[in-house]
Chains A and B, each alone.
Chain A
Amino acid sequence: MTTFIFIGDMLVMLFMILVVIWMSYFESKERIDYTAHIPLEDEQTDG
């Protein structure tokens, strides 16, 4: 069980590291800025 949990933990840590690397190197600044601004520019009121 200890080995199972250890391997599971390491896989998740690897996933987290890949998320950080992806966000830092592969996501463009324009896309992140655009996404972050979505709630501020998401409606057009009528009347």
Chain B
Amino acid sequence: MATEQQYYYDDVVKRLVQFSVIWAVVAMAVGVYLAAELVWPTIDFGQPWLSFGRLRPLHTNGIIFGFGVSALMATGFYSVQRTCHVPLFAPRLAWFLCYGWQLLVFLGGISLLAGWNTSKEYAELEWPFDIAITVLWVCFAIVFFGTIAIRKIKPIYISNWFYGALIIVVAIVHIVNNLAIPVTFSKSYSLYAGAQDAIVQWWYGHNAVGFLLTGGFLGMMYYFLPKQAGKPIWSYKLSVVAFWAFTYSYIWAGPHHLHYNAIPEWVQSLGMVMSLVLLAPSWATMVNGIMTVSGAWEKLRTDPALKFIVLSLAFYGLATFEGPMMAIRSVNVVSHFTDWTIGHVHSGALGWNAMITYGTFYFLVPRLVGTELYSVKLANMHFWLALAGTMLYIVSMWAAGVSQGLLWLSLDSTGELSYSFRDIMASMAPYYGLRFIAGLIFLAGTLLMAYNFYMTTRSRETVKVKPPAVDPAFGVAS
């Protein structure tokens, strides 16, 4: 047992990566089916569980909590051990978290198909699942912060600050937003009413995007990008300043989801201004990432993992520029409630979250089992499929969204709406067709990756890796 303790604990990391890939395939397939339903609405076959309203939260929850959170737990556990030079704290609890989380996502998905839904976006799961999320999240915190507490070196690397912020802030916003009065096992009512409920919901919703889909994945970037580039982060000081600026700004930005709604105007203005402020730490981080690769550009020709990560930074820059622009009220009047928002979300979800995760997994999976990637050719093919799918998706949704926004705002000489809602939706058909094709292309790439990983890890054990010797100048006195 004592000997076992000397090695990093990577078995649970490998299993979480496998689950993350499975959820990516399942949830993206559901997304493609949803895109098909918007082209051929009758393919729900009159079945409630196949209806758009039930499948849509399954898609978003599967991507965020299945694919995204499993990937964050895997990479968080991998990096926190190494950056602290100690094996994982409480590995049995990590295993409990690993399987418990998958069971939660699976049963939660079934409940959504059954029609259990709080009607809060990204917080659709009903109260029994909310309690389970809280318990499992505490396990995540114990394993992660426990590892930091027993670290062998004094400095806490920047990636751990981001993963730590993810754990703390998501816990806070999840608990506060999901406070509810249960009526039955499958139904509860929010503790808040009206405008307050909306403000709390988007304080949660935007910070789920901010600290989970942005902050958590930035933690991934700050650890795995230097690893792959073979160079330290370009400016460590900038990364620390950007972390605090990011943490401070993001928490205020939620009300931009509620422009022109029945909430105080100063709350809307505050959300808008803080969204614009966010541009600074976001682009500081992007520049820091791109400059880290500078000097290692030749690796982009040969290393598919690095290609994915560099491309993800480009999409990160794009999405974090577009977001603040859409938060400006005069832009939001066109973009809100249109497919532009869907395009924006997917430039982040496909271009940033999925690409950085794929790049990280292409680096991680062969290392975990101590071999080469089964096929670099397939990985390169995946890269081009992912890029083509993402570009086609966001361009079609931008075109659809801007058209919708402008057509809805168009008035005739008598002040009546120039176009009916039905006419506008009918004109969306070509864009929705393109979106379906884009989703298929992206999903095809993900399937190639899943096959590549299966062949890479097939019948191979996890490699045992030891922490390095600690530099006495920076070691923690024991």
Contacts and interface: CB of A to CB of B under 8 A. Distances in A.
Nearest to B6: A46
B287 to A, nearest CB: 16
A40 B225 CA distance: 10
Nearest to A24: B237
Given A1-B266, A16-B248, A31-B155, A43 B237 contact: no
A16 B245 CA distance: 7
A44 B464 CA distance: 9
Contact of A43 (B82, B270, B473): B82
B467 interface: yes
Interface stretch (B226-234, B299-307, B328-336): B226-234
B241 A23 contact: yes
A16 B241 CA distance: 7
Contact of B466 (A37, A38, A46): A46
A2 to B, nearest CB: 7
B153 interface: yes
Interface in A24-47: 24, 27, 30-47
B471 interface: yes
Contacts of B7: 46
Given A19-B244, A20-B241, A38-B155, A43 B467 contact: yes
Given A30-B473, A31-B474, A40 B467 contact: no
A31 B153 CA distance: 11
A38 B239 CA distance: 14
Contacts of B159: 39
A7 interface: no
Nearest to B465: A43
Contact of A44 (B223, B233, B245, B465): B465
B83 interface: yes
A5 B237 CA distance: 28
B451 interface: no
B473 A38 contact: no
Contacts of A36: 226, 232-233, 236
A42 B467 contact: yes
B463 interface: yes
Nearest to A30: B473
A46 B473 contact: no
B424 interface: no
B266 A43 contact: no
A26 to B, nearest CB: 12
A2 B223 CA distance: 40
Contacts of A44: 465-469
Interface in B203-260: 223-224, 226-227, 230-233, 236-237, 240-241, 244-245, 248
A19 B463 contact: no
A24 B155 CA distance: 16
B84 to A, nearest CB: 9
Contacts of A5: 270
B8 interface: yes
B85 A16 contact: no
Nearest to B234: A36
A5 B83 CA distance: 37
B82 to A, nearest CB: 4
Contact of B226 (A1, A2, A34, A40): A40
Contact of B83 (A19, A27, A39): A39
B157 interface: yes
A10 interface: no
A27 B156 CA distance: 13
Contact of B237 (A16, A32, A34): A32
Contacts of B85: 42
A6 B115 CA distance: 44
A23 B155 contact: no
Contacts of B370: 45
A20 B241 CA distance: 7
B217 to A, nearest CB: 16
A37 B153 CA distance: 13
A35 B236 contact: yes
Contact of B82 (A23, A30, A31, A39): A39
Given A36-B233, A38-B157, 10 more contacts: A15-B248, A19-B244, A23-B237, A23-B240, A24-B237, A35-B157, A38-B155, A39-B82, A42-B467, A47-B464
6 contacts: A15-B244, A34-B471, A36-B233, A40-B230, A43-B465, A44-B467
